[in-house]
């Protein structure tokens, strides 16, 4: 019986990865979705709102600073993407990387140092929960703060893994799923940025 | 014929192996049958740090990692990063079994040590002591150097090509 179950679940899993794994990890939305008004602070305590998004491409990803594994890797990979795009585009057309920190209680005190540790050009934003929630739902994302485990105060934050691609009109136009492949993402963004320039 | 001979030799050598009592096994040598490679901790300005290493079980028995300790942190957990239906999270593992001959990699975006609340300020060049505790009572200690991700992988774009 167990063998049969193993076989069935394998078939399901294989079918699943066929549909999702080898398929596109990048998706352009049919309709661009204008982002709602929001007001957060960047790591230099400057207002970060809709106006800051206008006039340039932006990649927003949801994370938290107590995330030692996936979040830093995502930042590093997106930096590598920026470096690739730098070979094709002038600096004003290269997307800005925005780390949306959704755990303000732990994130706000360390955000400046956290961002400085990676690349000074990256932006980290956080702020009041309702403002975070507005932007998170605007980019079609999700997050949830977990409960601290037994005997220690740490809690996990589960969150949307995908990267939101925001156009210079402050509209959500595409998303990129994990795991990120730097070459694939660079090619995708190159095509997207070129295409939107013409239209 | 040669295969049969090999099987016989193996069987005889098994039979000749002196019986080792449970107590002896514990402090004698399970540790020499576990090898550690590529241990490092990415430097990070955070109260939670990751730890990575490769663990190979060269013994002929399954071993189970049940606890990880470090004097440099208040707590250490075994974690795995997962993405389930587009949602990223981490799961804590109570134990981790390693088959005979198996190599388990703690590496970015996968298994990692979740090392919380450093007891002192850590930075590049520091070394952290780590002790793995196994179900049979054996322990394996090693040091884990702190490195920047950039130093570990070279330039940022190199890290990108490294999938
Ligand atoms: Cu973790």
Supply the ipTM of this predicted assembly: 0.80
Q: Is residue B20 part of a domain?
A: no
Which residues in chain A touch residue B49, judged by CB atoms under 8 angstroms apart?
A: 68
Q: How far is B29 from chain A (nearest CA, A)?
A: 32
Q: pLDDT tens string for chain A (199 positions)?
A: 444 444 334 333 333 333 333 357 999 999 999 999 999 999 999 999 999 999 999 999 999 999 999 999 999 999 999 999 999 999 999 999 999 999 999 999 999 999 998 888 899 999 999 999 999 999 999 999 988 766 566 788 999 999 999 999 999 999 999 999 999 999 999 999 998 875 5
Q: Estimate to the nearest angstrom the gap between the alpha carbon of A144 and the chain centroid.
A: 15
* 3 state SS of B154: coil
**The Cα angle at residue B118 between residues B115 and B122, in degrees rounded to 5:** 105
Tokens (6 digits) for B136: 């049979």
Q: What is the pLDDT of residue A199?
A: 54
Q: Which of 23-42 (B) contact A at CB < 8 A?
A: 42
Q: What is the pLDDT of residue B41?
A: 97
pLDDT at B11 over 70: no
Answer with the residue of higher pLDDT: B78 or B46. Answer: B78
For B48, the domain range is: 32-148
Q: How far is B14 from chain A (nearest CA, A)?
A: 32
A137-144 long-range Cβ contacts below 8 angstroms, 24+ apart: A137/A36, A138/A33, A138/A35, A138/A36, A138/A38, A138/A172, A139/A35, A139/A60, A139/A62, A139/A164, A139/A166, A139/A172, A140/A33, A140/A164, A140/A172, A140/A175, A141/A62, A142/B87, A143/A62, A143/A102
The CATH number that applies at residue B119 is 2.60.40.1890
Tokens (6 digits) for A22: 């080898």
Tokens (6 digits) for B110: 């996968």
- C-alpha A66 – ligand 1 centre gap (Å): 9
| 8 Å CB contact of B42 and A117 | no
| 8 Å CB contact of A182 and B157 | yes
Mean pLDDT, range B5-20, rounded to an integer: 41
Q: What is the DSSP letter of A168?
A: T
Answer with the residue of higher pLDDT: B85 or B7. Answer: B85
What is the number of residues in chain B? 163
Q: Is residue B141 part of a domain?
A: yes
A vs B: CB pairs below 8 A: 105
Is residue A10 annotated as involved in ligand binding?
A: no
Global confidence as pTM = 0.80
The count of domains in chain B is: 1
Across the interface, which of B42, B75, B88 has its CB nearest the CB of A152?
Answer: B75
Distance CA B26, CA B154 (A): 41
Burial class for B65, CB neighbours closer than 10 Å (0-12, 13-18, 19+): buried
Q: How far is A75 from chain B (nearest CA, A)?
A: 10
Distance CA B136, CA B138 (A): 6
Q: What is the pLDDT of residue B18?
A: 38
Distance CA A121, CA A70 (A): 20
Distance CA A42, CA B131 (A): 39
The count of domains in chain A is: 1
Which residues in chain A touch residue B77, judged by CB atoms under 8 angstroms apart?
A: 149
Q: Is residue B110 part of a domain?
A: yes
Distance CA A28, CA A114 (A): 31
> pLDDT tens for residues B47-99?
899 999 999 999 999 999 999 999 999 999 999 999 999 999 999 999 999 99
The CATH number that applies at residue A161 is 3.40.30.10
Q: Is residue B37 part of a domain?
A: yes
Please name which of B39, B64, B68, B46 lies closest in space to residue B132, comparing C-alpha atoms.
Answer: B68
Which residues in chain A touch residue B114, judged by CB atoms under 8 angstroms apart?
A: 68-69, 154
Q: How far is CA A93 from CA A76, A88, A189, A196, B26, in A?
A: 19, 9, 11, 11, 61
| 8 Å CB contact of A181 and B163 | yes
Which residues in chain A touch residue B153, judged by CB atoms under 8 angstroms apart?
A: 76
Distance CA A118, CA A61 (A): 15
Is residue A159 annotated as involved in ligand binding?
A: yes
Q: What is the pLDDT of residue A24?
A: 78
> pLDDT tens for residues B107-139?
999 999 999 999 999 999 999 999 999 998 889
Substitution target from B84, B108, B154, B156 for chain A, most A beta carbons within 10 A: B156
pLDDT at B25 over 70: no
Mean pLDDT, range B135-160, rounded to an integer: 79
CB neighbour burial string for B135-162, b if at least 16 within 10 angstroms, e if fewer: eeebebebebebbebbebbeebbebbee
| 8 Å CB contact of B75 and A79 | no
Q: What is the pLDDT of residue A15?
A: 35
Distance CA A30, CA A20 (A): 19
Please name which of A157, A64, A117, A68 lies closest in space to residue B114, comparing C-alpha atoms.
Answer: A68
Please name which of B162, B134, B11 lies closest in space to residue B62, comparing C-alpha atoms.
Answer: B134
Q: How far is A199 from chain B (nearest CA, A)?
A: 31
For A38, the domain range is: 2-198
């Amino acid at each position: 019986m167990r063998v049969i179950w193993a076989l069935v679940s394998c078939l399901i899993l294989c079918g699943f990865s066929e549909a999702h794994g080898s398929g596109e990890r990048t998706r352009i939305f049919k309709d661009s979705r204008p982002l709602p008004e929001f007001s957060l602070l960047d790591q230099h305590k400057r207002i970060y709102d809709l106006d800051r998004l206008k006039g340039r491409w932006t990649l927003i990803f949801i994370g938290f600073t107590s995330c030692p594994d996936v979040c830093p890797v995502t930042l590093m990979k997106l930096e590598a993407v920026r470096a690739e795009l730098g070979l094709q585009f002038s600096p004003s057309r290269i997307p800005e990387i925005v780390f949306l920190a959704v755990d303000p209680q732990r994130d706000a005190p360390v955000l400046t140092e956290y961002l400085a540790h990676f690349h000074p050009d990256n932006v980290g934003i956080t702020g009041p929960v309702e403002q975070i929630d507005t932007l998170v739902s605007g980019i079609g994302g999700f997050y949830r703060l977990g409960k601290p485990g037994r005997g220690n105060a740490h809690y996990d934050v589960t969150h949307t893994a995908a990267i939101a691609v925001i156009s210079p009109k402050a509209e959500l136009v595409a998303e990129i799923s994990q795991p990120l492949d730097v070459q694939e993402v660079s090619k995708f963004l190159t095509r997207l940025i070129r295409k939107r320039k013409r239209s | 014929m040669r295969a049969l001979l090999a099987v016989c030799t193996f069987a005889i050598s098994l039979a000749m192996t002196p019986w080792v009592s449970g107590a002896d096994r514990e402090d004698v040598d399970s540790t020499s049958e576990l090898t550690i490679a590529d241990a490092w901790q990415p430097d990070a300005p955070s109260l939670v740090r990751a730890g990575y290493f490769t663990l190979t079980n060269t013994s002929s028995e399954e071993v189970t990692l049940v606890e990880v300790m470090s004097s440099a942190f208040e707590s250490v957990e075994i974690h795995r990063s997962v993405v389930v239906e587009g949602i990223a999270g981490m799961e804590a593992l109570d134990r981790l079994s390693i088959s005979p001959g198996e190599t388990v990699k703690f590496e970015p975006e996968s298994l990692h040590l979740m090392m919380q609340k450093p007891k002192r300020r850590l930075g590049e060049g520091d070394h952290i002591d780590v002790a793995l505790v196994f179900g049979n009572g054996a322990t394996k200690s090693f040091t884990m150097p702190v490195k920047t991700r950039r130093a570990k992988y070279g330039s940022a774009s190199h890290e990108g090509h490294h999938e």
